[in-house]
Chains A and B, each alone.
With several copies, the nearest count.
Chain A
Amino acid sequence: MPKKNMVAMILAGGQGSRLGVLTNNVAKPAVPFGSRYRIIDFPLSNCSNSGIDTVGVLTQYQPLDLNTYVGTGHPWDLDRNNGGAFILPPYQKIEGMDWYKNTANAIYQNINFIDNFMPNYVLILSGDHIYKMNYDLMLKQHIEEKADATIAVLEVPWDEAPRFGIMNTDESGRNIIEFEEKPAEPKSNLASMGIYIFTWSVLRKELLADEENPDSSHDFGKDIIPSMLSQDMKLSAYHFSGYWKDVGTIRSLWDANMDILDKQDEINFRDSAWRIYSRNPVKPAHYISSEATVKNSCMTDGCVVYGEAEHTVLSHSCVIEEGAIVKDSVLMPGVKVRKGAIVDKAIIGMNTIIGEGCKIGGKPDPQNPYYNKKLCSDEIVVLDRGLIIKDNAVIPGNCMVEHRPDLTEGNVVEDVVQVW
């Protein structure tokens, strides 16, 4: 294998439990997003556009969809003879076997993989952020600053800072002197974006030491970065100022989808200099009938609209039948909304069918068997993939619906269909 200057490792993560039923059967990075994409399209496209051609995707949770989706990386131009996209599951070694215990441990278990490319630098990414970033510029700063690690940071509103990992810098704003995880009283509003460049020789040593440390939780933010700070290593802050969103919760996933309608100029999928690539099936151009109304919405191939779509994101092959109204919602691929149904502020999983006359959304009802305050907020309804919802069913806001054969009263699911 030829030497690479920088190798990227995407932490595609374990179960994204805060997305509830949406990650029952798929890893979070494989969740559909923004009409034509999946979440992992963003880091993969960023890598490709930044000239990084060797990308490891670390995954151990429900990897089938993700594996199939990433494949050899062809859609992102990552099917290279020397390098390319690699799916890296945990595996048995001669010394035994181990699941990935945490972010740093996952990289630790793949030291051999990285060593094969003899890189100078390693880029660590998350698989659940929506943003466009040129990692090559970040690397330039890393080299210029002769840093041991460079961490991408974003200015967040001061009142939101306590929700993030905060980087405190010296007066230059470039040198990180302290890291605080979700500080109650933040000293800075520079949030870590979970994007790291490490000089590989430095990180390699840190990972070996961290693995030996019985008190470590083997996390980049909680263990590796503080350890490097304590050794007075040079940690540089790379300031990023574009659109960035963590889509780890139902609310933030809904927000980010709506942003592609409301903040088009910020996300800008039409920038031919920084395209977001994706793998999509061949479907006919979408069709909008004479009776249909489409406002402030986006859709892609294979959709057919006879009803009304307003402020809604439709993925491929969605159908809205006559008289149906879909508002403020996200339809994942293949969703069908039957005649006269009303869908208001919902995220609907792949291939789910909403029966005729259904009423989805609206004022929450804590008595509803599907009511789920823990994961759903702001009246957002979430439906699992592959459900057939009974005609005229009513599902109020803040419900999360999955197939529950135990329910007799209030069960709105007629049947389930196979999805791939």
Chain B
Amino acid sequence: MYNKVIGLILADDLAINLGELSYSRGIGAMPFGGRYRLIDFALSNFVNTGMLTIGVSTFLKYRSLMDHLGTGAAWDLDRMNQGLHILPPNYGLEAHSGESYDLTGLWDFYRDFSHPYIIISTCHCVFNMTYEDFIETHINSGADMTVLYNEDGYRCGSPITFFDIDENNRITGVYYNPEKPKSNNTSVGTLIMHRELFVDLLSNMMSRGIQDASFLTFLRMFKTYDIRGYKFEGEALRINSIQSYFNETMRVLSDPVRSQIFYGEYPIYTKVKDEAPTYYNDSCVVDNSMISDGCVIQGTVQDSMLFRGVTVSGQSTVNNSILFQDTFVSEGCQLENVIVDKNSVIRPGTKLIGNPNYPIVIGKGVIV
């Protein structure tokens, strides 16, 4: 696939609000699943399909994303001619506000390649698949675009995009956050089209003074272009709010979701950091939890996701919670339905009990 399909990842999305968690990072740089960032999934799906040229378009607070991606070596994308390219907005152009994807920059980058197809992927859907069959189906169908969807619509919160699909898999209606969805078909945030069509569409938008394009922009062209749906059968986790971030993390702890997402045929790549192994002492209790390297577990951890370097001290209980990198839970604490952003310290004896439908969020570097 390496010279057939080029990739584009839209790393930001102004419509998705993760509150305090997104204060310092865009959606692509959002930590997920103990040791990943959301962009790792989109990127690994591309790499596992054999695609070698991938652009990452950004406009929001992208320093943490740049630090994470580096040269792309973790994804084997530090290539001479191909490889990973970060596409920040071109602030030098007066026309561009820095509030949306930079169409001029995208156009500039993508027009010079010779790959016949482009896959555009957002970052807020977590799934593990390779695109061979998706690509094949698109090519054989003769459609202008093909978009990945599944039937999770009713269980997902907003923002969300629904489709009507006819018997030929053709998209006949696109609804963004409809009050009463007419179908269960919802976008998984990935579409394929001819690279030249993409470049033409951008050029056309720019000539009409449109500076703002999102994934939805392309789907809404269903009347002009032949857009088909391709049904994704696996598990997809949709992260579009704090609540869904919390729910989907809880869901990924248990099989079969855990195995499908993390232990698929191909690995999810991410930047590896040096940590000590995680140590469990004599008195710890751990149930149904995913725990990353560098943790020290002396208390009780149940139904929780722990990122790197978390300490849970003795006589503390962590239930149904998500603790980001280097969270320190002191002795005698009780945490339930809590999301703690990185580098925070929970003081001895602290009790934080949220509701599963309204988890408590503790910001970055806070001492509670």
Contacts and interface: CB of A to CB of B under 8 A. Distances in A.
Interface in A247-275: 260-261, 264, 269-270, 275
B236 to A, nearest CB: 17
A87 B204 CA distance: 52
B278 interface: yes
A294 interface: yes
B276 A292 contact: no
A296 B269 contact: no
A381 to B, nearest CB: 22
Given A75-B274, A277-B274, A301-B35, A285 B291 contact: yes
A34 to B, nearest CB: 7
A35 B78 CA distance: 27
A82 B76 contact: yes
Interface string A86-98: 0000000000000
Interface string A263-302: 0100001100001111011111111111010111111110
Given A298-B278, A301-B292, A284 B34 contact: yes
B279 A298 contact: yes
A404 to B, nearest CB: 33
B14 interface: no
Contacts of A276: 274, 276
A291 B279 CA distance: 19
A287 B270 contact: no
A394 B76 CA distance: 44
Contacts of B290: 284-287
Contact of A282 (B74, B278, B291): B74
A313 B74 CA distance: 27
A52 B272 CA distance: 23
B258 interface: yes
Interface residues of B, number: 43
Interface in B34-82: 34-35, 73-74, 76, 78-81
Contacts of B284: 294-295
B112 interface: no
Interface string B134-173: 0000000000000000000000000000000000000000
A350 to B, nearest CB: 16
Contacts of B292: 285-286, 301
B109 interface: no
A379 B281 CA distance: 25
B282 interface: yes
A66 B35 CA distance: 27
Contact of B276 (A51, A81, A270, A281): A270
Interface in A72-119: 75, 77, 79-82
B287 A296 contact: no
B295 to A, nearest CB: 9
A293 to B, nearest CB: 9
A289 B268 contact: no
Given A282-B74, A284-B290, A285-B291, A36 B33 contact: no
Contacts of A79: 78
A287 B277 contact: no
Given A289-B288, A294-B280, A295-B280, A300 B293 contact: yes
Contacts of B291: 285-288
Contacts of B253: 287
Interface in B254-287: 258, 262-263, 267-270, 272, 274-282, 284, 286-287
Contacts of B296: 270
A285 B34 contact: yes
B356 to A, nearest CB: 18
A280 B272 contact: yes
A282 B308 CA distance: 13
A296 B267 contact: no
B280 A282 contact: no
Contacts of A81: 73, 76
B188 interface: no
Contact of A292 (B33, B258, B274, B286): B286
Contact of A35 (B74, B270, B274, B277): B277
Contacts of A270: 276, 294, 296
B306 interface: yes
A299 B282 contact: no
A64 B302 CA distance: 42
Nearest to A84: B76
B278 A275 contact: no
A290 B269 CA distance: 27
A415 to B, nearest CB: 23
B318 to A, nearest CB: 13
A288 B293 contact: no
A290 B268 contact: no
Interface in A132-155: none
A41 to B, nearest CB: 10
B343 interface: no
A328 to B, nearest CB: 14
A275 B292 CA distance: 18
Nearest to A315: B277
B289 interface: yes
Contacts of A261: 279
A364 to B, nearest CB: 28
A298 B280 contact: yes
Contacts of B294: 270
Given A284-B262, A288-B289, A296 B280 contact: yes
B270 A278 contact: no
Contacts of A289: 287-288
Contacts of B286: 288, 292, 294
Question: Nearest 5 A-B pairs (CB), nearest first?
Answer: A285-B34, A269-B276, A35-B277, A284-B262, A285-B292
Interface of A: 34-36, 51, 75, 77, 79-82, 260-261, 264, 269-270, 275-278, 280-290, 292, 294-301, 309, 313
10 contacts: A77-B81, A260-B277, A270-B294, A282-B267, A283-B267, A286-B278, A286-B290, A286-B291, A298-B280, A300-B278
Given A285-B293, A295-B281, 15 more contacts: A261-B279, A282-B268, A284-B290, A285-B34, A285-B305, A286-B291, A286-B292, A287-B290, A287-B291, A288-B291, A295-B282, A295-B284, A296-B280, A297-B279, A313-B277
Interface of B: 2, 33-35, 73-74, 76, 78-81, 253, 258, 262-263, 267-270, 272, 274-282, 284, 286-294, 296, 305-307
